[in-house]
Structure 1
Amino acid sequence: MTPTTLNRTRRVVGTALAAATLAAALSACAPLIVGGAVVGGVMAVDRRTAGTQIEDEGIELRAANRIRETLGDRAHVNVTSYNRQALLTGEVATAQDRQAVEQMVSQVENVRSVVNDLAVMPPSTLSQRSTDTFITGKVRASLVDAQDISANSFKVVTERNTVYLMGRVSQREANRATDIARGVTDVRKVVRVFEIVSEEELRRIAPQPAPVTTDTKPAGG
């Protein structure tokens, strides 16, 4: 085998091994998407339709791009959309910027309403944002630990130690999640941005478990 042929063979083998490694990683870690629903992921148990979840992601992306193009580095704004309701958190330099951001986001396609909780103050520090991320993780873990509510029915956002809770939930679930969040260390305040639904509607929109089938075939048959 000539040196040129040997080098070509090595490249082909290397590429094949890399592709196999990537495929294995994707099959082990990535959720399976079937007809717009993620099997084994959040979309399979989310109380929003698959279409609404995609719309919410689009709202967050388009709104963030518009804010960045208009305000640049002089603002720190987070946009969180749930069921086409956009929550604005973070900090802006002036009251005019605060109003401008709300106006921009309200004009984003598919936005149904805007909850503006932006503060007029200097942007939060990286240390504060790290603390907020840690608090969000602790609240989510506490919701998962609770046996009487579905953690995947809630979105959790933290800004300057204030926790925002979003979701389509019953009054009982709203109260329970609020109590849980308030009990997490370093949480100063809990803001509820819920869409309250009745228990009857909750039963209607909640994902139903797959039917369990049993094999009644006699042994040895």
Structure 2
Amino acid sequence: MKKMTKQSIQRLALAFTAGTVLVAGLTACVPLVVGGAAAGAGLVATDRRTSGAQLDDQAIELRGGARVREISNDQMYVSITSFNRQVLLTGTVGSEADRRRVEDTVARIDNVRNVVNELAVGESSSFQQRSNDTFITGKVKASLLDAKDIFANSFKVVTERGVVYLMGIATRRELDRATDITRGVAGVEKVVRVVDVVSEEALAGQLRGGADATAGSQPPASAAPAPKSSSNVPLPPMEPLPASGATATPVR
């Protein structure tokens, strides 16, 4: 048997994880989903977040889940994902008042620095939609892993009704490249970036064991243009994302 490469092992683990999540989605309907609280300790070694930020993200997701359950009703299907102390809310609620209530509840959790509220008012996703979202997430992760010019672990991928959310810490070049790759995946209807943009210098400093790359960094004055894509999802000009307090930026 040929010796498996590190990338082969990563792809195998990714496929196993995606399959496990899909099976779970087929056997139970969970009104509240916590994004990354069950992540393995191995992420600490490869994640660009500080170990403190990783622990805070897990705590935010767990506390957020508990607090949203206290105000939940039969029309709330909320997913909470925290990355670098930024929280993404996806799913559906029954009213605009519920949408604001969930955001206010999560925003009051310790260490939350920003909430991106993508909750929709309406009916919850169907069984087929949830299964398709899980499949799309797996395909996007695999596509990012296959890319030779970006670090796949820089991004967390969340999919809701065909809309893919990219969360993470990355340079402008990496962000543009990851966006382009994601847009090329079949079934992706829109890409939203919720990413802390750091300079190449700040990232290099972090990789050398320096301080947290998100502290006091600025996007590079000039970034290399993203490669052209054959995707049918057009990409309009994008305003620079802030170095901290990232904002969701849709790509239609």
TM-score normalised to the size of structure 1?
0.74
Matching residue's letter, 1:123? S
Q: SS of 2:79's equivalent?
A: strand
Q: SS of 1:74's equivalent?
A: coil
Please report how far the alpha carbon of residue 72 of structure 1 lies from its aligned counterpart in structure 2 after TM superposition.
3.5
Aligned to 1:77: 78
**Alpha-carbon separation, structure 1, partners of 2:85 and 2:66:** 17
Provide the identity percentage: 57
Please report how far the alpha carbon of residue 177 of structure 1 lies from its aligned counterpart in structure 2 after TM superposition.
0.3
CA deviations over 1:48-87 (Å, ceiling 9, x no partner): 0111101101101111111122113321111110110001
Contact 1:47 1:207 (C-alpha < 8 Å) held by counterparts: no
Moved more, 96-105 or 57-66: 57-66
**Alpha-carbon separation, structure 1, partners of 2:198 and 2:77:** 32
Q: SS of 1:114's equivalent?
A: strand
Aligned to 1:174: 175
Contact 2:75 2:92 (C-alpha < 8 Å) held by counterparts: no
Aligned to 2:50: 49
**Alpha-carbon separation, structure 1, partners of 2:161 and 2:121:** 13
State which structure, 1 or 2, has the greater radius of gyration over its C-alpha atoms: 1
CA deviations over 1:19-43 (Å, ceiling 9, x no partner): xxxxxxxxxxxxxxxxxx94xx222
Matching residue's letter, 2:130? R
**Alpha-carbon separation, structure 1, partners of 2:92 and 2:82:** 18
Contact 1:76 1:123 (C-alpha < 8 Å) held by counterparts: yes
Give unmatched runs, 5+ long, in structure 2: 1-39, 210-252
Q: How many residues align?
A: 170
**Alpha-carbon separation, structure 2, partners of 1:81 and 1:63:** 10
The yes-or-no answer on 1:193 pairing with 2:194 is yes
Give unmatched runs, 5+ long, in structure 1: 1-36, 209-221
**Alpha-carbon separation, structure 1, partners of 2:178 and 2:207:** 17
Contact 2:68 2:102 (C-alpha < 8 Å) held by counterparts: yes
Please report how far the alpha carbon of residue 207 of structure 1 lies from its aligned counterpart in structure 2 after TM superposition.
6.3
Q: SS of 1:47's equivalent?
A: coil
Q: SS of 1:73's equivalent?
A: coil
Instruction: After the TM superposition, list the runs of 4 or more consecutive aligned residues in structure 1 that deviate by more than 2 angstroms.
Output: none
Relative to 1, partners in 2 of residues 1:77 and 1:146: Cα closer, same or farther, differing over 3 Å?
same
Superposed counterparts of 1:23-172, under 5 Å: 38=41, 41-172=42-173
Matching residue's letter, 2:54? Q
Say which structure is richer in helix: 1
**Alpha-carbon separation, structure 1, partners of 2:152 and 2:183:** 15
